[in-house]
Amino acid sequence: MSDERNRLIREGFIAGLLGYGAVVALFAILNLVAGLSPFHTASVLGSALLGSALDQAGPLGPVLAYNGLHLVVSILLGIGASFLANQAEADHDLGSGVVFGLLALGGWIPIFFGAITVEYLHAVGWAEVLAGSLVGAGAILAYIGWAHRDLVQALFEEAQA
């Protein structure tokens, strides 16, 4: 694998982990404030998504299953964001397209999956979906912005010109 591809995957992996961790921390705090287990939301979502398939797994089964799925999706979103940022570095004319692409990856995709959990599974509310999406997207975008500081600065300079 080329050095560039390794960097892109490593950067996306880190961005995804940060997005995942931010969402996990947010829901752990919200659950604790509500007097629930810090794993309550993950347990509810895991049970709602996988239903009786996890009955034999015990109380941590739904938590582990949901967190595994959430981690994979977060890492894929991070890699997608890293790919878009790398494309924008190669062609600054893609800058505004990359911004919209990153917003789509970071915000709309989690909201889409959130709609499934709210409307179909009735597992969490829209406020929680929105908060989780914003926190996760913010963490991914902050890291990608930091990793591509020169690109961000160049895009701001071009926008001001």
Amino acid at 104: A
Q: What is the mean pLDDT of the chain?
A: 82
**pLDDT score at 137:** 86
Closest residue by Cα to residue 137 from 160, 161, 103, 112: 103
What's the domain count of the chain? 1
Q: How buried is residue 153: exposed, middle or buried, by Cβ count under 10 Å (0-12/13-18/19+)?
A: exposed
Q: Do the domain assignments include residue 40?
A: no
Q: Do the domain assignments include residue 38?
A: no
**pLDDT score at 101:** 67
Q: Which of 8-17, 79-88, 90-99, 152-161 is predicted least confidently?
A: 90-99
8 Å CB contact between 126 and 104: no
What's the mean pLDDT in 134-143? 90
State which residues form the domain around 124.
3-30+67-160
Query: Residue 47 — very low, low, confident or very high, per pLDDT cuts 50/70/90?
Result: confident
